[in-house]
Amino acid sequence: MEQTQNAVEQRPVFMPRVNSDNLVKTDMVRFERHVGFASRQKKKSINDLHQVIRKKYGFNNVL
């Protein structure tokens, strides 16, 4: 049976600002990163990051 360790990571999120002198707002988000080299682990980490962004900022589409 495969034993995996997950780590909590922080990554920046860049959001456009329309009516501001600054064109981009930057904020840090925490998400669970799935450790491993397999593409499946990377996809899980990306999905977790996108889910946190959707939940925190209310975005329907990320990217």
> In the chain, where are the structural domains located?
6-57
3 compared with 54, residue with greater pLDDT: 54
Q: Mind listing the pLDDT tens digit for each residue in 21-38? A: 889 999 999 999 999 889
Average pLDDT over residues 41-61: 93
Residue 1: per-residue pLDDT: 46
Work out the burial of residue 45: count CB atoms within 10 Å of its CB; fewer than 13 is exposed, 13-18 middle, 19 or more buried. buried
Average pLDDT over residues 3-26: 87
pTM for the predicted model, two decimal places = 0.78
Q: From CA 9, how far away is CA 59, in angstroms rounded?
A: 20
Q: Kindly report the length of the chain.
A: 63
Average pLDDT over residues 4-28: 89
Residue 11: per-residue pLDDT: 95
Rg (CA), the chain: 14
Q: From CA 63, how far away is CA 61, in angstroms rounded?
A: 6
